[in-house]
Chains A and B, each alone.
Chain A
């Protein structure tokens, strides 16, 4: 089907859809639960409390340096499950396809999903496909939902953040957002930068192994970046967060692209990083645990939690002054002068 394009018939419930399911999804995702092809998947008793997460993916362009919408969709929900302190087990995959999408593109994307799921030892056990008329969607949207099992108690959550906690970031800021922006056709620059899309299950497992209940909260700084994450932490825990700008790891090429576009790396999306709020006496162990994994080699303590003013995120700048780190106002806009 490599020269073909997706047609409305591929979502009609008839023969074409059956072919798509058998030739592509079942072949690529193959596992006992999915292969049964029932309306839903029957899952074994996982032996613990469950975490359940969902995320939808609408990235433009579909392919970018370091990944595509497929691995992004799988890693995204895996990471949401990991941030709840769970080990991800099963995913669902829902596809909304615009009529005319090249089947070869869909093949590559589904292949990337299968590879990402296998790498994280996660099964895609149920799914759905809809095809909409040309112009009613932007080529391909994917929703993934997932279930993980929680092995550590108490599980991390933002309500457990306390004054004195240290904030640890697992690596450099802004790689994904800038890699995607660099691919947008109207941006006349190309950077050697790759998206950081990656599953974080091993990183969170090591962190929980090393610190157990000392890990108070974990979250991945995706949309809205580190700034949005810190504001969410500060608000939901009713604490003040103080960041240290000199401690923030940012690649020179990301800093340069941000400078050019008038963007702030604090607000740029990441897809393979996490921030953990960790009890002060566990911070050193947490940092070591993260640094022992390739995805956490550049981990750093970037700030701390204070009683202070609930909901405030402040940052000591490289010069020693202070600034507020606010929620982003809306769409990220480039500057003009």
Chain B
């Protein structure tokens, strides 16, 4: 796809100008997806918005919210000689209680990075004498792929494949944040890719019940600016609807085939979110008829709970209550090379985004590199 139109500086400038024009008082908007957080900071987009418009960063990084005990479980499975532990690259560096999957691999565990659940199933085919466990991470975006792999494993009679499910659902987390009495977010950018699967429906009830505008938003500069402008317009007009500013990807009803795959294989249940706590009906676990492919049942339950380093405030960051630079450990004890909490590790984590893109000294002049000469 040609992305140039969605990065056009002239269109961006017009949208920014319009946002300045429309905004009359301060608002707090949350972008729910880590991909959006990264794009905003990478583009320096927050610096261009009106002063009173505060963007706070939501819990939309599936790697960040995966609880440490579940990672510990994956590490323990990886240490078993018969197991090939397959997972997405993002998960490799995230610390559990004491270790990471990268460290597990260095210690001799067979940990493979894959790009889809079906790649993991393929590993089971090519290694019939091994047990392939797919550590399934992600929101409703990656859950259909996991579901498809499990269905295929059943239809093909693949017995040496199982799923360690860490899948979570975005709308459940948004509801949890909205129910929190301390919530100060007034409008939401819903995560475009997740909405492509579930559609706008799950957000409609939230918008109505909590009286907040929610705009389904993409990840390019123009997508983000359109989403932000729509939220501000609705806030200024006192409206609270779900709108779709990512029409090229998201249909209102979502992807029905993908939804069928999810609900055929998974059921929702309460899930612990790292740093946040138990969120009802927010996790996906395999239905009883797929127990044979459930790694938790195949290999036994995980070890008991563990704790985060005391200084890390990642829970508050993931709920949008604090910004990463407000953490006493940010950039000091905690860096991407030496992370204390998951948001500093993951490519989608808010702390990593701030560390990577925005450790700019305050009060910079605004001259471009080219303003004095040839550039």
Contact = CB atoms under 8 A, between A and B. Distances in A.
A304 B142 contact: no
B145 to A, nearest CB: 10
B1 to A, nearest CB: 7
Contacts of B336: 329-330
B316 to A, nearest CB: 22
Given A319-B12, A320-B9, A337-B142, A304 B356 contact: no
A287 B373 CA distance: 14
Nearest to A243: B369
Interface in A172-208: 186-188
Contacts of A319: 9, 12-13, 16, 43-45, 48, 221
Interface in B183-229: 193-194, 221
Given A187-B115, A256-B1, A319-B12, A166 B44 contact: no
Range of interface residues on B (Cβ < 8 Å): 35 or more
Interface string B134-146: 0001110110000
Nearest to A280: B373
A323 B43 contact: yes
Given A244-B369, A335-B348, A320 B114 contact: no
Nearest to B48: A321
Contacts of B115: 186-188, 334
Contact of B374 (A301, A324, A334): A301
A318 B224 CA distance: 14
A318 B48 CA distance: 12
B165 to A, nearest CB: 14
> B12, B113, B347: which has the most chain A beta carbons within 10 Å?
B347
B62 A336 contact: yes
Contacts of B70: none
A247 B370 contact: yes
Interface residues of A, number: 44
B139 A322 contact: no
A59 to B, nearest CB: 18
Contacts of A287: 374
A17 interface: no
B89 A324 contact: no
A243 B370 CA distance: 8
Interface string B106-125: 00000001111001000000
Contacts of B43: 317-319, 321, 323
A242 interface: yes
Interface in B323-370: 336-337, 347-348, 352, 355-361, 364, 368-370
Given A244-B370, A280-B373, A334-B115, A324 B137 contact: no
Contacts of A242: 368-369
A204 B237 CA distance: 61
B47 A322 contact: yes
B155 interface: no
Contacts of A330: 93, 336-337
A322 B44 contact: yes
B335 to A, nearest CB: 8
Contact of B221 (A256, A318, A329): A318
B88 interface: yes
A321 B139 CA distance: 30
Most A-side CB within 10 Å, residue of B116, B142, B364: B364
A20 interface: no
A9 interface: no
Contacts of B193: 337
Contact of B375 (A256, A301, A326): A301
Contacts of B44: 316-317, 319-323
A256 B1 CA distance: 7
Given A316-B368, A322-B364, A166 B221 contact: no
A303 B115 CA distance: 35
B375 A166 contact: yes
B318 to A, nearest CB: 15
Interface string A229-263: 00000000000001110110000100110010010
A323 B41 contact: yes
Interface string A246-284: 110000100110010010100000000000000010011
Nearest to A184: B115
B35 interface: yes
Contacts of A322: 44, 47, 360, 364
B308 interface: no
A126 to B, nearest CB: 36
A256 B90 CA distance: 20
A333 B345 CA distance: 11
A304 B48 contact: no
Contacts of A255: 3
Given A316-B368, A317-B42, A319-B44, A262 B373 contact: no
B7 interface: yes
A243 B44 CA distance: 14
A324 B357 contact: yes
A320 B89 CA distance: 32
> Which has the most chain A C-beta neighbours within 10 Å: B47, B90, B370?
B370
Contact of A283 (B116, B357, B369, B373): B373
B372 interface: yes
Contacts of A331: 89, 92-93, 102
Given A318-B9, A319-B44, A323-B44, A333 B374 contact: no
A209 to B, nearest CB: 20
A337 B364 contact: no
Interface string B12-52: 11001000000000000000011100000111111110000
A246 B373 CA distance: 15
16 contacts: A188-B115, A264-B42, A303-B375, A314-B364, A316-B368, A318-B221, A319-B44, A321-B47, A322-B360, A323-B44, A324-B356, A326-B356, A336-B89, A336-B137, A336-B138, A336-B141
Given A321-B44, A324-B360, A329-B336, 14 more contacts: A186-B119, A244-B369, A252-B2, A304-B375, A314-B364, A317-B42, A321-B45, A321-B46, A322-B364, A323-B43, A335-B90, A336-B88, A336-B89, A337-B142
Which 3 A-B pairs have CB atoms at the shortest separation, nearest pair first? A321-B44, A333-B89, A242-B369
Interface of B: 1-4, 7, 9, 12-13, 16, 33-35, 41-48, 62-63, 88-90, 92-93, 102, 113-116, 119, 137-139, 141-142, 193-194, 221, 336-337, 347-348, 352, 355-361, 364, 368-370, 372-375
